[in-house]
Amino acid sequence: MATLTFAAALNAALADEMAADPMVVVFGEDVGTLGGVFRITDGLTKRFGEERCFDTPLAESGIAGMAVGMALGGARPVIEMQFDAFAYPAFEQIASHVAKMRNRTKGAAPMPMTIRIPYGGGIGGVEHHCDSSESYYAHTPGLKVYTPASVKDAYMMLRSAIRLDDPVVFMEPKKMYWTKAELDLDELRAEFEERWARVEEKKEHGEAWAQAAVVRTGTDVTLVSYGPSVPTCLAAAAAAEEEGYSVEVVDLRTVNPLDEETVAASVSKTGRAVVVAEPQGFASVASELVARVQQRCFHSLAAPVLRVTGFDIPFPAPKLEEHHLPNVDRILDAIDDLNWDLEPEEARA
């Protein structure tokens, strides 16, 4: 066992896939010599050479467009957008070509491309460095959107994303890069290969890690979240326990595809739900979750499904982000508002 950071897990996943498949190529702004702003690609150029991990000009649209051509030519490009809002110049390429190529060619042209995007707040950055842009990608048919919330999932899910023949927007919570876990990397590698072999045997390239995880069990209320908000939900659940609430926490892992079954099973059991996410709530992944939970679990609910999200404003200055982002107090306030005068059975009556 060794202490592994979230960033180191991603680095190991990239290195292991590059070692396993010579067609995996990593490129983007400052990913070569520097090793990336957050050092996720550290050492890859030295180990695999400049043809496998290299720097590009500051041109996100060009990065994405070149990756499309390379994927059509048989490569498996992994590109880095450096910061969430830096990816917007590439959005036309991503929405018009990356997402649609397989459908446009009736399946003849797969698009095995991974777009790594460090995203979210919590690092004291200014605007253009702290956006939560997952809703744009989740709304685009043809894209898969992954966002791990643990060190283990960071490793497992990135390797899985690279092996898929469909494009994956891999959203990495920046504030989690320095989180740590005690893990055996050799055991992780063996577990991944074993699980991927089962996936291939079943011909379910569908999703080796697309199932949501119940990361804390409870009986009174479900907190549904993903990525950078999962640790906040776990902290809120622990605080709520001191107030007498038993809180279950569901980590979606992937925003698209969306594991509705796990979420619905949890909410049907507890009868109450709060969706927690960093981006603004209007027209968001959170609002879609509320709609689906309300529809699927209506007869099990004792109260309306609530949301705790960022406010509907551009990302604020660093000194204000603590007020903008979901926190334990805001989640506890939402839990308190869940109509505790009635049990689920009484509410349904």
Report which residue type is found at 238.
Answer: A
Report the relative pairing of strands 168-173 and 114-119 from DSSP bridges: parallel
Residue linked to tokens 């009174």:
220
Q: Is the peptide bond before 167 cis (omega within 30 degrees of 0)?
A: no
* Residues 6 or more apart whose Cβ sits within 8 Å of residue 111: 68, 71, 72, 98, 101, 102, 165, 166, 167
**How far is residue 149's CA from residue 226's CA, in Å, rounded to a whole number?**
7
Opening angle at CA 185, ends 181 and 186, nearest 5:
150
- List the alpha helices (DSSP H) in the chain: 6-20, 44-48, 60-72, 91-93, 101-104, 134-138, 151-163, 185-201, 230-242, 260-270, 285-297, 321-324, 328-336, 344-348
Which residues, in sequence order, are bridge partners of residue 346?
Answer: none
Residue linked to tokens 């994956």:
168
Phi first, then psi: give them for residue 325, nearest 5 degrees: -80, 150
Residues with catalytic annotation?
Answer: 129
Nearest to 277 by CA among 239, 312, 302: 312
